[in-house]
A and B are shown apart, each in its own frame.
Chain A
Amino acid sequence: DQQVKQNSPSLSVQEGRISILNCDYTNSMFDYFLWYKKYPAEGPTFLISISSIKDKNEDGRFTVFLNKSAKHLSLHIVPSQPGDSAVYFCAASLSGGGADGLTFGKGTHLIIQP
């Protein structure tokens, strides 16, 4: 039973436009959410996170939105740049700040077209 779902395996966006990556979760006990970016042959790199007590967190070109009632979060990248082409993973943790590990989605491959 997949508790964190990224239903779009891939997404293609034109350079300069907004990229929106979506993530849904089923476990209402998740209270902290993170986005990671991964290039081939490298480890995942932390991008941005959000606590369940917030509905938005912004860091430069990256903004994460959380809709708890819908159990949905999204990552917005504005403007999209060629270096943003990577696989993006959504992850969630239970109370305790993820001490007992993260639950990941399967990832979305973002392709930025010139």
Chain B
Amino acid sequence: DAGITQSPRHKVTETGTPVTLRCHQTENHRYMYWYRQDPGHGLRLIHYSYGVKDTDKGEVSDGYSVSRSKTEDFLLTLESATSSQTSVYFCATRDRVTDTQYFGPGTRLTVL
């Protein structure tokens, strides 16, 4: 796959605290994505980036912000975590040659 790592892999936090998840890729892919996976919902797009400093909202962007200061890093921030943001978060990159998205291993976030 596309050499994608996510950190942390697991996190437990309290309601109201800020949380930042990191995605790092080594393939120099221009496009990067954040999805969340919840029971009964499959994967849903939160935000995506089409280049350094270029980002856009996805289907479920409320309560989340992103930043991309380098090609290889895409950060997802929950400014004030809520229990509804308890989920598994997946980062992905897109290979423009094959139009295929490749996923990282995921971050399990629990908001108490």
> Which residues of A approach B to under 8 Å, CB–CB?
4, 6, 32, 34, 36, 41-46, 49, 89, 91, 93, 97-107
Q: Provide the residues of chain A in CB contact with B106, threshold 8 Å.
A: 41-43
B44 near A46 (CB under 8 angstroms)? no
Given contacts A98-B99, A106-B42, contact A43 B104 (CB under 8 A): yes
Interface residues in B, total, Cβ within 8 A:
28
Among A32, A49, A99, the residue within 8 A (CB) of B31 is A99
**Chain B nearest CB, measured from A53 CB (Å):** 13
Nearest residue, chain A, Cβ from B38: A106
Q: Encode B42-55 as 1/0 by CB contact (under 8 A) with A.
A: 11110010100000
Given A45-B103, A98-B94, 20 further pairs, Cβ under 8 A: A6-B42, A34-B100, A36-B103, A43-B105, A43-B106, A45-B1, A46-B1, A49-B98, A91-B43, A93-B99, A99-B94, A100-B56, A101-B33, A101-B45, A101-B48, A102-B45, A102-B101, A105-B42, A106-B40, A106-B41
A43 with B90, Cβ < 8 A, contacts A98-B101, A99-B31 known: yes
The dominant DSSP class at the B interface is: strand
- Is residue B102 within 8 Å, beta carbon to beta carbon, of the partner chain? yes
Chain B residues, CB < 8 A from A49: 98-100
Q: Is the CB of A97 within 8 A of B99?
A: yes
Set of chain B residues within 8 Å of A99, measured between Cβ atoms: 31, 50, 94
**CB of A51, distance to nearest CB on chain B (Å):** 9
A100 to B31, CA, bound (A): 9
Residue of A nearest to B97 (CB): A97
- In chain B, positions 39-98 with a C-beta closer than 8 Å to chain A are 40-45, 48, 50, 56, 58-59, 90, 94, 96, 98
CA distance A11 to B96 in the complex (A): 33
Q: Are A46 and B48 in contact (CB under 8 A)?
A: no
